[in-house]
Chains A and B, each alone.
Chain A
Amino acid sequence: MTVYAAPGTDGSLMTYAERYDHYIGGEWVPPASGEYFENPSPVNGRTFTEVARGTAADIERALDAAHAAAPAWGRTSVAARALVLNRIADRIEANLEAIAVAETWDNGKPVRECLAADIPLVVDHLRYFAGVVRAQEGGISQIDDDTVAYHFHEPLGVVGQIIPWNFPILMAFWKLAPALAAGNCVVLKPAEQTPASIMYLFGLIGDLLPPGVVNIVNGFGVEAGKPLASNPRIRKIAFTGETTTGRLIMQYASQNLIPVTLELGGKSPNVFFEDVASAHDDFYDKALEGFTMFALNGGEVCTCPSRALIQSSIYDTFLADGVKRTEAVVQGNPLDTATMIGAQASNDQLEKILSYIDIGKQEGARLLTGGERAELGGDLAGGYYVTPTIFEGDNSMRIFQEEIFGPVLAVTRFDGEDDALKIANDTLYGLGAGVWSRNIHTAYRMGRGIQAGRVWTNNYHAYPAHAAFGGYKSSGIGRENHKMMLDHYQQTKNLLVSYATSKLGFF
């Protein structure tokens, strides 16, 4: 067990600067407005740095830098680009603990998750796209004896990316790795709740990229995100967030006739069949951990398994064991590796979660555990903590239908496979789902039947590169984490070549 010192205190592995400018053209550039905004840590609610408040002028400056860099970067060999991605991965790996501490301080998540998941996944993701871009081939289609269609991959050019606050560094690299591998230059807008960790990271890795290939402009959505998303100088926009902004970004994209990829969340069902409890063995233990996965990252995950569907025949006993497992979740200092759940990312997020706990009670859902703000006191006083919460109720209730983005689980029962499928699919969204069964036939049928882009079968919350991730229904457009994401960042150039020497005969 380790308790990391808070950034900037004695013995800390990293220190945040007092102020962060934009990162444009390989340099730290003050905001055109001269204004900065305060950035508090969710761990204790206190401001630890200030960050440039970007506006349209800063976005234009970043786009200038990106456009200046794009022709040369787009022509580098895939071997050269792959090497850059691998070097970034190596540098991040060598500084993994310090980056993990930085991420926890900015976001509030338990450092054990940054150490074991967020940052190693960034490294893996970079190496994956370094690999697949080298293995990518174009195509040759023989049309007839003398005519050949050649298909080349070409970068789009300059793209915009808007990053969420739940995994500030990992979500940035889910988008950066394929975009850079494909030869694009990027203007990236981090979330205003978590603007600092990515700037610290680029302080470590910035020298590995040619100037202007990645440009980062911080600021508020309306002041910096909108001028980026609506800008006619980007060839694509990628966004992770919620549905209203997703629609707005599509509206802007339609005005510029550019493609979008959107990841807009879900309300993921986690389905437990009765055979899970046929023995109280390691698998049963694993299933209970799967049940408790709603508390991972404080529930601030687009695929949070926030609806548990339990077969009636095991409902009471499995739920009782699940509640017990949830009550064993250790809440505390996010910088302590023994802590399993840290702080919610912002005050408004905390308020939103509490408002959902309130409506859950009003709708008649039964509170089984948790249900309140946790006041941890001491150094953590003023932080944004919520006790892991379990409700039981009916799938029509709002706590079963809306992504709370907190450690709040809504549990209901089902009778048989058809009923399970009906409840699982009774949602606007279709991003993730979990199926737990010892019967391969049940698991396969359910997995194919659930309308979601990712169905974890006898596991949950794994995010390896090389497994496609994205949504059905209102959960979005596109697939991240997989080589197919390269397609979202590439044009197809077709050369249609005639080797015939004789004319067609029309004229």
Chain B
Amino acid sequence: MEQAGTPERVAVTDAAASQLRRLRRRNGPLMFHQSGGCCDGSSPMCFPDGDFITSEADVRLGDLAVAAEGDDEAFTVPVWMSKEQFQLWSHTHLTIDLVKGRGAGFSLEAPDGVRFLIRSRLITAAGVPDELSGPVSCEVPAAGGTGR
């Protein structure tokens, strides 16, 4: 979904990818919506794709690519964030990791005793970390679509 020339905005660690494979086996196609606010705010919430209705208020940051492994075929997971929050996060690259824990909210991984967690690094327009830059353009999809 990224426009050509824009830097990658999202990535996934091996541990998180393994958890996504487990969740996909149980729930089918998946999506993330990055939360804000109190309690479990700032957590990436994982839902069955389409369960959270995205709209013109949201930005699709990109798709996580989860490679094939064993019986699991390769698949992608779109990552969304509210547009207003993106205005404040646009200078950072997000890697979805997995830690031990117990998140609230309706995210799918919680019953397994794990929690998806965002790790951030700075990005520039050229996609090179460690140098602050202004907002990078990002494709805004049509209302209601989850981009599948």
Contacts and interface: CB of A to CB of B under 8 A. Distances in A.
Contacts of A398: 88-89, 92, 120
B105 A241 contact: yes
Interface string A42-53: 000000000001
Interface in A340-357: 346-349, 351-352, 355-356
A265 B39 contact: yes
A266 interface: yes
A173 interface: no
B65 interface: no
A450 to B, nearest CB: 18
Contact of A266 (B37, B88, B100, B106): B37
B100 A191 contact: no
Interface stretch (A94-102, A116-124, A280-288, A400-408): A400-408
Q: Give the 9 A-B CB pairs with smallest separation, nearest first.
A: A265-B38, A348-B101, A265-B37, A244-B35, A242-B41, A348-B115, A302-B38, A242-B37, A245-B105
18 contacts: A37-B111, A166-B38, A220-B102, A225-B104, A241-B38, A241-B40, A241-B41, A243-B85, A244-B34, A246-B37, A248-B52, A251-B52, A348-B99, A351-B117, A352-B43, A362-B120, A403-B36, A474-B37
Given A251-B53, A348-B100, A352-B43, 11 more contacts: A220-B102, A241-B38, A242-B41, A263-B38, A264-B37, A266-B37, A347-B101, A352-B117, A359-B92, A402-B42, A403-B41
Nearest to A193: B102
A240 B52 contact: no
B45 interface: yes
Nearest to B110: A220
Contacts of B140: none
Nearest to B27: A222
Interface in B72-114: 82, 84-85, 88-89, 92, 99-108, 110-111
A362 B42 CA distance: 17
Interface residues of A, number: 54
A405 B122 contact: no
A364 B132 contact: yes
Given A346-B101, A355-B120, A398-B92, A363 B132 contact: yes
A377 B42 CA distance: 29
Contacts of B125: none
Contacts of B136: none
A183 B14 CA distance: 51
Contacts of B85: 243, 428
A226 interface: yes
A274 interface: no
A193 B104 contact: yes
A362 B121 contact: yes
A152 to B, nearest CB: 36
A225 B103 CA distance: 12
A226 B107 CA distance: 10
Nearest to B38: A265
A245 B122 contact: no
B99 A221 contact: no
A428 B36 CA distance: 9
Contact of B84 (A264, A363, A405, A428): A428
Given A222-B106, A222-B110, A428 B38 contact: no
Contact of B101 (A247, A351, A355): A351
Contact of B35 (A192, A242, A396): A242
A165 B39 contact: yes
Given A222-B108, A362-B122, A474-B84, A265 B41 contact: yes
Contact of A359 (B82, B103, B120): B120
A93 B59 CA distance: 49
Interface in A470-495: 474-475
B108 to A, nearest CB: 6
B102 A243 contact: no
Most buried by A among B42, B53, B99: B42
A402 B41 contact: yes
A242 B85 CA distance: 13
B102 A242 contact: no
Interface string A235-275: 00000111111111001000000000001111000000000
A245 B120 contact: no
A469 interface: no
A248 B51 CA distance: 8
B102 A346 contact: yes
A429 interface: yes
